[in-house]
Amino acid sequence: MLSKNDIFKLFKYLTFFFYFSAVYQFLCFVNNVSGFLGLRSAFYLSFIWLVPIVLFPKYTKIVSAFIGILLLITSLFSLGYFILYSQEFSQSVIFIIFESNMKESSEFFNTYFQWWMSIVFIGYIYVAFRLWKCLEPVSLNYKGRIFITLLSSFLFIMPFTKPYISKGKSYDYALTKQLNNMESSAPWNLIVGYMDYKEVLASMESLLLENSKIKPLSNLVSKDKDSTLVLVIGESTNRNRMSLYGYSRNTTPNLNKQKDDMVVFNNVYSPRPYTIEVLQQALTFANEKNPDEYLTKPNLLNIMKQAGYETYWITNQQTQTKRNTMLTTFSKMADHQVYLNNNKNQNSSSYDEVVIAPLNKALKDTKYHKKFIVVHLIGTHSKYAYRYPSKFSKFTDSKTAKKLNDSQTYKYNTYDNAVLYNDFVVSEIINSVSSVKNPAVMLYMSDHGEEVFDAEDRLVQGRNEASPTSAMYTIPFLIYANKEWKQRNDFEQLKNYTNRLYTSADLLFTYCDLAHFSFDEFDESRSIINKNFKQHSVFIGDPEKKSKLRDLVKEPF
């Protein structure tokens, strides 16, 4: 059917087509930005370009030249973006380009563009040209053409068929897999990225429109005339893995030193083990009993703006993904946004210290007397080894709490290293807040915990609501205030409240209390720092299954 010579010729075509995705994917892989998957997907997807080659044997050179030019142009977007920013190209990049930060993007471009990059591009195009020159006309018999067409099509739709047919997953799940895979290679990086961007944008715009129709709070009074409020949202950090909370390894040396200046709450739990689901409650009036109130009542951003605060959203979480829609929508409600992580996958690195510079810029902004700044970290999200620079790789021995195999020990250690790095970042944020001239206060909490072989009765890692462990919900929750804030407020008094059992679903009340707001719907009994705090239920679980909710007041971990 295919002679050795045919195979060799086809292989050269394949190499030519693969080249346009391989260079970029290889750079991502060796720079630890993403795993091997992108390289592999791009290779399989490159087969599809063999179809026009075998179907039009008379025009192989010209057809391959056309395909090559298409791939070259589209691949330059990903490659150029990677060389400039060391991040993957994704729908988030398209979001940034089309949305707000055009000016900032061009500033960034000017800072990062170096003359040698033009040489890289010329070299890149030259290699492509040499590969094209090596191509020879290939003419297959009837069977050969059918074989190549079937094989290429099979490989192209494999990301869809594998989960859909052999694993019985849903059509939507399989389609998402297919599109995700396609994003790894040119020209689909642009096509799929743009489609995704438009889809998410449409749902975001409708959410924003709905939000704009919500009635503001009645009788909101904001007492402070000048204050800076910082809310730091961490990620996947179990407080029991922080030495600040008594963990045996010294994973929080910096926070330990700052302990006297903080109020460290040691009995706070997240209602759910998933970012979006938690923040839909923590930043709004919604809770486990009324999970949809985030759509019908003002959220913390709305409230801050109503109270006259200038609002900022600085994030090192992925800018725009389908799942992140609500999060990006929250961010769009702020007056200023800084998106620092445009990677396609959570399994990509963008170290959290990138938030410090834009935070300092916002803190020093003297135009406004009242500021509310949200800092959203990627924290200790898996894969843990992507979360910290190598100098934070301190815990490497096998003396872990339990008997673990090599791969489990690796995860256990890299998690602790990620906590160590998170300590550095949170502590740096505190240092920044301490230097603010007017009263400034910061609240740090993790969105939820993470199970990394902590459970007594089984060896599990990750998060799963259907099989909950305490580590998935156990979060750090602490407040830091600067000197000026302490002069006006009784900070020491708050230290009496650190043992209160509390859910981060009620964060809004604590935060509004911290900001000295009063309004009709304010429920002081739901604020962990209020003298009239009452013990309410601390529910965990999926609010769709109300009867299955577990109340930690009655049924503690």
Name the segment binding Zn ion (CB under 5 A); options: 55-63, 133-141, 270-278, 344-352.
270-278
Q: How far is CA 197 from CA 131, 154, 174, in A?
A: 34, 27, 19
Q: Counting contacts by CB under 5 A, is residue 275 touching Zn ion?
A: yes
User: Nearest distance from residue 537's CB to Zn ion, in Å?
Assistant: 23
Instruction: Report the interhelical angle of 115-134 vs 4-30 (nearest 10°).
Output: 170
> How far apart (Å, rounded) are the C-alpha atoms in residues 497 and 474?
17
Binder of Zn ion out of 196, 310, 352, 447 (CB under 5 A): 447
* Residue closer to Zn ion, measured from CB, 232 or 515: 232
Subset of residues 406 to 445 that bind Zn ion, contact rule: CB under 5 A? none
* Residue closer to Zn ion, measured from CB, 275 or 350: 275
User: Nearest distance from residue 475's CB to Zn ion, in Å?
Assistant: 10
* Residue closer to Zn ion, measured from CB, 241 or 370: 241
Look-up of token digits 């769709």: 544
Q: Please answer whether residues 462 and 451 qualify as being in contact, where contact means their C-beta atoms are separated by less than 8 angstroms.
A: yes
What own/partner pairs with CB < 8 Å and gap ≥ 24 does 171-178 have? Answer: 176/322
User: Nearest distance from residue 445's CB to Zn ion, in Å?
Assistant: 11
User: Nearest distance from residue 68's CB to Zn ion, in Å?
Assistant: 42
* Residue closer to Zn ion, measured from CB, 183 or 447: 447
Look-up of token digits 């099509």: 153
User: Nearest distance from residue 112's CB to Zn ion, in Å?
Assistant: 30
Subset of residues 204 to 263 that bind Zn ion, contact rule: CB under 5 A? 235
Q: Please answer whether residues 229 and 309 qualify as being in contact, where contact means their C-beta atoms are separated by less than 8 angstroms.
A: yes
* Residue closer to Zn ion, measured from CB, 287 or 530: 287
Contacts of 547 (CB under 8 A, 6+ apart): none
Strands 517-518 and 221-222: antiparallel
Phi, psi of 480, rounded to the nearest 5 degrees: -120, 140
Query: Containing H/E element for 494?
Result: helix 491-494
Pattern 80-99, Zn ion, x by CB under 5 A: --------------------
Q: Please answer whether residues 156 and 181 qualify as being in contact, where contact means their C-beta atoms are separated by less than 8 angstroms.
A: no
Name the segment binding Zn ion (CB under 5 A); options: 62-70, 268-276, 449-457, 460-468.
268-276
Q: With contacts defined by CB under 5 A, how many residues of the chain interact with Zn ion?
A: 3
User: Nearest distance from residue 317's CB to Zn ion, in Å?
Assistant: 8
Query: Containing H/E element for 143?
Result: helix 142-161
Residue 70: strand pairing partners: none
* Residue closer to Zn ion, measured from CB, 275 or 311: 275
User: Nearest distance from residue 273's CB to Zn ion, in Å?
Assistant: 8
* Residue closer to Zn ion, measured from CB, 335 or 465: 465
* Residue closer to Zn ion, measured from CB, 235 or 506: 235
Residue 350's Cα: distance from chain center in Å? Answer: 9
Q: Taking CB positions, which residue lies at the least distance from Zn ion?
A: 275
User: Nearest distance from residue 17's CB to Zn ion, in Å?
Assistant: 38
**In 413-483, which ranges are E strands?**
440-446, 451-452, 461-462, 477-481
Query: Where on the chain is the footprint of Zn ion (CB under 5 A)?
Result: 235, 275, 447
